[in-house]
Amino acid sequence: MRLQEGDIAVSLGTSDTVFVWLQQPRPALEGHVFCNPVDQEAYMGLLCFKNGSLTRERVRNECAGGSWEVFSSFLRDTPLGNHGNIGFYFDTMEITPPAVGVHRFDRDDNKVSSVCPQAEVKALVEGQFLSRRLHAERLGYKIIPGTRVLATGGASSNKDILQVLSDVFNAPVFTIDVSNSSCLGSAYRALHGLVAESGVSFSEAVRNAPEPQLAVTPNPAAQELLQNRQRNDPIG
């Protein structure tokens, strides 16, 4: 995905995986910190979430009649913040954090057993991406001016899902035309390996590669809503 400082890559597949460029990492029990493969002065954070697209598909089947079109309309038609409803959906034992079960909360932070289908869909997707951002920030990731979210994986073809991702991270979301980004990345690294001995940096080696395409931009009201939520949430 050719990350730069401030970028975050989100792979939306069977499991959701998050990669972040870190300058000052904060190692934690949840997540991993590696040497940055393209910059010896930086680090790379990796987070894996087991309940990704399969959980989204399960909620789609139960709440949207198995239709991604209906699922997307629920995301579009339900306002930012979902009237205060939020949920954490761990159909199987999660990796980040180690937890299981479905946990729904209303605007007063009371646990509830169910919500309407529209609120369920929005609670799922907002809850997933809020978790991605929270755990990334715990590893030391910071959103800075110019931050881009680079999305790949099967769900990255759904612009309404990407819109929620953009709103949660308050950053534009970009995608690439190649569906198998891991193979493309291997080719980029091989190219860099051929020229690295001559002092060519990774960014210079792939400077002629196609740029990612802008998919969505954040709703201007999203950041204010997140700040209000954080002020009212003792967990942060």
Our CA angle for 142, 145, 151, nearest 5°, is: 70
45 has pLDDT over 60 = yes
Question: What are the b/e assignments for 74-86, b being 16+ CB within 10 Å?
Answer: bbeebebbbeebb
Strand order in the sheet with 149-152: 32-35, 43-49, 16-22, 8-12, 149-152, 173-175, 213-216
User: Whose CA is closest to 155, among 55, 87, 85?
Assistant: 55
How many H-runs (helices) and E-runs (strands) does the chain carry? 7, 10
Domains of the chain, each with CATH number or no CATH:
8-49+141-216 (3.30.420.40), 53-137 (3.30.420.40)
Average pLDDT, the chain: 92
- Spatial strand order in the sheet of 101-105: 86-90, 101-105, 111-112
pLDDT band at 182 (very low <50, low <70, confident <90, very high): confident
Please give the average per-residue pLDDT across 48-59, as a whole number. 97
Measured between alpha carbons, how far is 223 from 59 in angstroms, rounded to an integer? Answer: 27
Q: Is there a cis peptide before residue 218, judged by omega within 30 degrees of 0?
A: no
- Among 35-49, 161-175, 178-192, which is the least confidently predicted range? 178-192
pLDDT at 223 exceeding the cut of 90? no
Torsion of CA 32, 28, 9, 186, to 10 degrees: -10
Give the mean model confidence (pLDDT) for residues 102-131: 97
pLDDT-derived band at 213 (thresholds 50, 70, 90) equals very high
Ramachandran angles phi, psi of 78, nearest 5° = -95, 130
* Cβ atoms 63, 121 nearer than 8 A: yes
- pLDDT tens column, 125-146: 999 999 999 999 999 999 999 9
Structure confidence at residue 69 (pLDDT)? 98
Confidence of residue 231 (pLDDT cuts 50, 70, 90): low
- The string of DSSP letters for 142-155 reads ---TT--EEEESGG
Strand-pairing partners, residue 8, are 20, 149
Report the pLDDT value the prediction gives residue 38, as an integer from 0 to 100: 87
